[in-house]
Chains A and B, each alone.
Chain A
């Protein structure tokens, strides 16, 4: 079915132009568990969207569904990225179509050096930033390029995971808890990087427990509660609305 979904019902979708990323009525299951229960939202090109909610709300599930991993299974709904039907693709096809997921726990591949982890990212098309450019952005990775990836510190691994995503020519960057377990100074560095690539035109969805930090970075926010969307608006709105924050984010 190639008819683009109709978002006119949602008050924030005022544009007539199709959104860069459209998720429409997505239902995701882990086996029998029904996690994401019919969500729809858009992300516009060049935006940073913060995807927030309490633990278990379905944030990671949403990202993994968009990335088309084997688990969870998307049993209903559509996902469109820059006019491409992601919902019909496998994970590697979605990656070729421009999707880049930086998973929770980073998933640096054991047995490979820093450089090999980056080279691995550039085997499948489309190739993004060159290794030299990435080492400029993350000098610490450049210093450790021959070291085994899993021996890096937490912060360095996070940078490697992001660099790995950028090594590909991606259209949409999905970040799952990028600040987790990192010292505030490292978080600053990463935030600076994210702003930098946003300036380069990257579209980003960031899932983050540290909601305030994420909201300060993001343009818009979507809040999930037990698998459904309870808020879809600007990030500033969430920061100002105390009762909203208390009810759904416990902050």
Chain B
């Protein structure tokens, strides 16, 4: 039983990343009708916003310490972060410690800007083009973005830890009445799940309770009729692209303590996120979120030793298996609108 709960927790926190990325993808597809294969790259850029802020905060000047020697036998050069000079060592350490959550504020404007530039600079020329063209150009863009990041940051993963208050794990089992030490789960992963739930909630609240959101929902449902009512939906959709980019970026920012970010992480998530969108139903926001968590949980269960013993290799193919089954039996996805992608 505890093994099951452990895997459900794990599925939820994995699924959080999938759900957030799929949410952004569906927003873009539902509004602009664009299949955006660069969305994983947006996730990656968000993660590197956290890396960048960390690097900025740890910008140091060198101080030569004559009492110690470096590997060549010369006097050791120490790196002293500027924040130490500005705020003192303790405060400086605290600031650096909290760089990941602080990166949220840094990432939002950056991601919106990146999203808007992407949309106005490249994607808008492909609205009327067939999906295959869109896939090619956005995929190419993803590769370019990935190589740019690799140029500046190298190919190696860059560890960017969570605030020390949230590192490590705690006894989740004890919280829900199990024996001690049966269900231990890392703090930060639960924080990530809560964060994702908040963002998802905020997006839905925005769409449901604001006028702008109502216009966007109307435009997603029937773009032509919204035009008949005098509304220039394109302007609003561009803003939605920025919003979707911000959602993907925030998913990336908070993800960095879970796995050290590297230039390739966008691609790693991209394929799965598209499977999520297809399974959930292209154009359905609740479907994307639901499918994200569902597939995360499925993936977790499929990597359980007991399951692999019964069906070897299931952990590698489960997601694609589910996608194939859905595509064959119910192509519009779990919650997709009838007729979308049916052909």
Contacts and interface: CB of A to CB of B under 8 A. Distances in A.
A and B touch in the complex (CB under 8 A): yes
Interface of A: 67, 69-70, 90-92, 95-96, 100-101, 103, 107, 109-112, 116, 119-121, 123-125, 164, 168
21 contacts: A69-B224, A69-B227, A90-B232, A91-B228, A95-B227, A95-B228, A95-B229, A103-B228, A107-B222, A107-B224, A107-B228, A109-B225, A111-B218, A111-B221, A112-B218, A119-B214, A123-B211, A123-B215, A123-B231, A124-B229, A125-B230
Contact of A70 (B218, B224, B226): B224
A210 to B, nearest CB: 24
Provide the main secondary structure of the chain B interface.
Answer: helix
Interface in B199-253: 211, 214-215, 217-218, 221-222, 224-233
Contacts, number: 69
Give the bracket for the number of chain B residues in contact with chain A: 10 to 19
Nearest to B214: A116
A110 B222 contact: yes
Given A111-B217, A112-B217, A120 B222 contact: no
Given A119-B214, A123-B215, A109 B222 contact: yes
Contacts of A124: 229-232
Given A109-B218, A110-B222, A111-B217, A120 B227 contact: no
Contacts of B230: 92, 95-96, 121, 123-125, 168
Contacts of B222: 107, 109-110
A9 B233 CA distance: 41
A119 B229 CA distance: 10
A60 to B, nearest CB: 13
Contacts of A109: 218, 221-222, 225-226
Contact of A92 (B211, B214, B221, B232): B232
Given A92-B232, A109-B222, 13 more contacts: A70-B224, A92-B227, A92-B228, A95-B228, A100-B228, A103-B225, A107-B224, A107-B225, A109-B226, A120-B218, A123-B231, A124-B231, A124-B232
